[in-house]
Structure 1
Amino acid sequence: MEPDVDDLGAGELKHVWVRRKIQELVAASSLRPGDALIGERQLEEEFGVSRITVRRAIADLVQDGALVRVKGKGTFVSHGMVRSTLHLASFNEDMRAAGFEPSTRVITATTTAPPREAAHHLGLPPHAEAHLVARLRLANGAPVSVDESWLPPSLLPGLLDHDLTGSLYRVLAASGYPVERVEQTVEAAAAPERIARLLDVEPGAPVLLFHRRSFSGRNEPGTPIEYSISTYRSDRYQISMHLGPH
């Protein structure tokens, strides 16, 4: 049975009404992040609407970051989406500004051969090695990104002796090389199996891929100090921008 007109807000569309009802259902059921939402057929019966209306409402909530779909498993309550403006800040600063508690798990901290792009940015001679710091970044205990940072051992000989579960930028600043300027590109990508396992998503799931070139020193071009590749879950991280005339 379709909802009565009196049940709908002024000018409210049915899928918007269902979206609101699903949010109320989640709250009333005390569902926690990671808990499964009831099936689409049950939602049809619960609200007396068509499958198309239910699916559109769920799609809106997925887009908003309130729900997340896992292929072959169902729809779940999201851990929340971090919305970040494009600015120079550490992961920890970004998460706290968005209202999340950040944490970090070190995956790898070693010295090894860097990829070509990292070696080029850092100005390393052929066959030279670089520090690799790979970390899983979490917000409220849920995985958000995998960060792989390449840094020059000649400038940072004691880097790997530091506690790397906090802000890497603070470690760099304490070592005399604060990050003053970055060049960054962002692209859509599919999660490779290794990264997917860490982010707790299916291999091939959509992710945001950040390539960042960091410099120390206020005068351009500055000292290349870090090359990083960060892979973010696209259902838990969103970029916002403020643009104006120029």
Structure 2
Amino acid sequence: MAATTQAKAPKGGHKYQAVRAYLADLIVSELAVGDAVPSERVLTEKFGVSRMTVRQALDALVADGVLQREQGRGTFVAPQHTDFEMRLTTFGEEARRRGMVPGTQVLESGTTPAGRLVAEALGCGEDELMHYVERLRFADGTPMGVERAWVPVHLAPDLLDDGVPDSLYDALKVRGHAPTWGEDTILAAEATAKELALLAMNGGRAVLRAHRRTFSDDGACMYSQMCYRGDRYSVVVPLREARPTIVPRVQPDADDTADGADG
């Protein structure tokens, strides 16, 4: 029987770093999403270190989103996060820009009064009629977010006559209200029971909520909310020199926070 070769940490380095480096290389070269990594016992024997040292290496990779633990089952390679840059584009455009296939399921659509939150965001009366759309967004077949959007009816009376357009931004553009700029407010939150079910989130409840006001040259043209699953989604925010806020930010109440849309 061949003798077991014991790996060693680099001279002068922390022992857990050798375990972490080994696992990182294993994930890249041999394992796929959902595969189990070697157990703590196996790693302890392989590197000749304590179980606490092995756990430290695993904890670091879990914190980085590379691994995920499942209670009673073990530690597995986690699905990698999808980075979306916050720009005035649609979800579909951002997905395609990253080589992913976008998908949409319309959950609800119709006409409704603006209500307090939407009225404050768009600077209109609470009774003003809005087109309302709620959609589930997919990337490569995986549910990534739940979105809601409100568009003033007077800007596009026929917006939903033939069903929900693939892109609300494009639909506004052909009607003379091309979106030119917007403002996002991003909140960390917990998913509701409905969101957990729609997004097939079996682990944590963490989500990102983006509240967006979109403007065309002639004023506010859309208010939207998006609930992104925190285990598969990260946001890239380009930075520039600080400038005064053009319009006061909307500060949604906790009771008003819901899943939403980005056009």
Q: TM-score range by the shorter chain?
A: 0.7 to 0.9
Q: Could you tell me how far apart the structure 2 residues matched to 1:11 and 1:85 are? A: 39
User: Is 45-54 or 125-134 further displaced after alignment?
Assistant: 45-54
Q: Which residue number in structure 2 is paired with residue 37 of structure 1? A: 36
Q: Which residue number in structure 2 is paired with residue 229 of structure 1? A: 225
Q: Which residue number in structure 2 is paired with residue 85 of structure 1? A: 85
Query: Gaps (5+ residues) in structure 1?
Result: none
Q: How far apart are residue 194 of structure 1 and its match?
A: 1.0
Secondary structure (helix, strand or coil) at the match of 1:170 reads: helix
Q: How far apart are residue 187 of structure 1 and its match?
A: 1.2
Q: Could you tell me how far apart the structure 2 residues matched to 1:84 and 1:127 are? A: 35
Q: Does 1:57 align with 2:57?
A: yes
Query: Gaps (5+ residues) in structure 2?
Result: 243-263
Q: Could you tell me how far apart the structure 1 residues matched to 2:223 and 2:72 are? A: 36
User: Is 234-243 or 149-158 further displaced after alignment?
Assistant: 234-243
Deviations 1:170-217 (A, max 9, x none): 222223221111111111111111111111225971111111111111
User: Is 129-138 or 92-101 further displaced after alignment?
Assistant: 92-101
Contact residue 79 and residue 236 of structure 1 kept, 8 A:
yes
Q: Which residue number in structure 2 is paired with residue 4 of structure 1? A: 7
TM-score (normalizing by structure 2): 0.74
Contact residue 103 and residue 165 of structure 1 kept, 8 A:
no
Change over 3 Å in CA distance of 1:244–1:122 after alignment to 2: closer
Q: Could you tell me how far apart the structure 2 residues matched to 1:157 and 1:102 are? A: 27
Q: Could you tell me how far apart the structure 1 residues matched to 2:165 and 2:17 are? A: 42
Contact residue 179 and residue 216 of structure 1 kept, 8 A:
yes
Q: Could you tell me how far apart the structure 2 residues matched to 1:24 and 1:71 are? A: 24
| Percent sequence identity over aligned pairs | 34
Deviations 1:108-162 (A, max 9, x none): 1222244421123334434343221111111211121111111111212222235
Change over 3 Å in CA distance of 1:160–1:125 after alignment to 2: same
Contact residue 103 and residue 138 of structure 1 kept, 8 A:
yes
Q: Could you tell me how far apart the structure 1 residues matched to 2:187 and 2:5 are? A: 42
Change over 3 Å in CA distance of 1:36–1:87 after alignment to 2: same
Secondary structure (helix, strand or coil) at the match of 1:57 reads: helix
Q: Could you tell me how far apart the structure 2 residues matched to 1:151 and 1:72 are? A: 47
Aligned residues: 238
Q: Could you tell me how far apart the structure 1 residues matched to 2:175 and 2:96 are? A: 24
Contact residue 210 and residue 229 of structure 1 kept, 8 A:
yes
Which amino acid in 2 is paired with 1:167?
Answer: S
Q: How far apart are residue 29 of structure 1 and its match?
A: 5.7
Q: Could you tell me how far apart the structure 2 residues matched to 1:67 and 1:133 are? A: 36
Q: Could you tell me how far apart the structure 2 residues matched to 1:40 and 1:116 are? A: 53
Secondary structure (helix, strand or coil) at the match of 2:89 reads: coil
Change over 3 Å in CA distance of 1:58–1:179 after alignment to 2: farther
Contact residue 114 and residue 126 of structure 2 kept, 8 A:
no
TM-score (normalizing by structure 1): 0.78
Q: Could you tell me how far apart the structure 2 residues matched to 1:70 and 1:165 are? A: 40
Q: Which residue number in structure 2 is paired with residue 211 of structure 1? A: 211
Change over 3 Å in CA distance of 1:42–1:203 after alignment to 2: closer
Q: Which residue number in structure 2 is paired with residue 241 of structure 1? A: 237
Deviations 1:216-239 (A, max 9, x none): 11xxxx421111111111221212
